[in-house]
């Protein structure tokens, strides 16, 4: 999330175990005088990722399975934070003009990565417009700014989330009421979240000027659910109750 905020780049794992890079990027990395310094020996993976972002190189991510703990990983949280934050702040210090200037977000496609937001429908009642689902958001993911036509009840089952527009955090065991007309952006905590939402009517996605840019309701969720079942050759459940 830090990389997203500072550099406009949504890299899912800034400390990957495996890198592959072009000769051009390899030459760019070797030409920098860091290999005899602290950041060349510790936090190297993050530094390689940051260098590719700062150079606005074309990037691609692939999920290769659960990451094993590195043999030379810091022994405690303080050391790990110092290493990560140290590399990040060193980079910000030496590249101020790059990250502080306006630039287009750097799109980094990901093969095999879990989607940032996934829904498991529990109820899709097309007669009343009531619908319910388990909403799973990965760490750092978000549900874009939206407006609720009707009220929504949320029960937090795992993890945490918050609204970018408010100053409280929803945690497991909490019930959240989103009143009609509320506008908010749901931001997941670092550990991700699973929340049960019960909705009625539509939610309208809006931009910063409150222009409607999309919507979700029971009808388009029913279509998406049936399309998914068809693509997986599975029989859809009868959720229209
Ligand atoms: Fe909402």
The SS3 call for residue 219 is helix
109 sits in the region (left: phi over 0; alpha: psi -120 to 50; else beta) called beta
| Cα–Cα distance for residue pair 82/80, rounded to 1 Å | 5
Rounded to an integer, what distance in angstroms lies between the CA atom of residue 116 and that of residue 193? Answer: 11
Neighbours of ion ligand 1 (CB under 5 A): 178
Question: Which parts of the chain register pLDDT below 70?
Answer: 1-10, 38-42, 66-75, 102-105
Mean per-residue pLDDT over the chain, rounded: 86
Give the pLDDT score at 1: 45
* pLDDT at res. 39: 61
User: What is residue 155's predicted lDDT score, i.e. its pLDDT?
Assistant: 98
d(CA 28, ligand 1 centre) in Å: 44
Domains belonging to the chain, first-starting first, are 2-111 (no CATH), 117-231 (2.60.120.10)
How remote is the CA of residue 152 from the centroid of ligand 1, in Å? Answer: 7
d(CA 209, CA 207): 5
Q: What is the pLDDT of residues 3-55, one digit of tens each?
A: 555 556 667 777 787 888 899 999 988 888 777 776 666 678 888 888 888 88
How many A from CA of 189 to the centre of ligand 1? 16
State the distance from the centre of ligand 1 to the C-alpha of 175, rounded, in angstroms: 13
**Residue 212 Cα, ligand 1 centroid: separation in angstroms?**
15
156 CA distance to ligand 1 middle (Å): 13
């Amino acid at each position: 999330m830090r990389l997203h905020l500072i550099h406009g780049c949504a890299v899912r794992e800034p400390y990957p175990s495996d890198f592959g890079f072009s000769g051009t990027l390899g030459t760019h990395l070797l030409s920098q005088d860091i290999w005899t310094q602290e950041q060349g020996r510790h936090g190297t993976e993050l530094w390689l990722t940051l260098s590719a972002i700062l150079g606005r190189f074309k990037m691609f991510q692939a999920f290769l399975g659960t990451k094993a703990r590195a043999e030379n990983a810091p022994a405690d949280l303080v050391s790990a934070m110092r290493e990560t934050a140290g590399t990040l702040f060193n980079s910000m210090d030496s590249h101020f003009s790059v990250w502080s200037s306006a630039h287009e977000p750097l799109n980094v496609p990901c093969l095999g990565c879990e989607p940032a937001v996934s829904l498991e429908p529990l109820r899709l009642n097309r007669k009343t417009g009531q619908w319910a689902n388990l909403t799973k958001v990965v760490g750092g993911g978000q549900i874009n700014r939206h407006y609720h036509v009707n009220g929504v009840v949320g029960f937090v089952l795992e993890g945490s989330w918050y609204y970018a527009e408010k100053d409280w955090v929803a945690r497991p065991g909490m019930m959240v009421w989103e009143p009609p007309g509320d506008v908010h952006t749901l931001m997941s905590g670092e550990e991700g979240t699973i929340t049960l939402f019960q909705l009625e009517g539509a939610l309208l996605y809006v931009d910063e000027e409150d222009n409607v840019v999309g919507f979700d309701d029971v009808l388009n969720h029913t279509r998406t659910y049936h399309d998914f079942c068809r693509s997986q050759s599975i029989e859809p459940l009868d959720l229209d109750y």
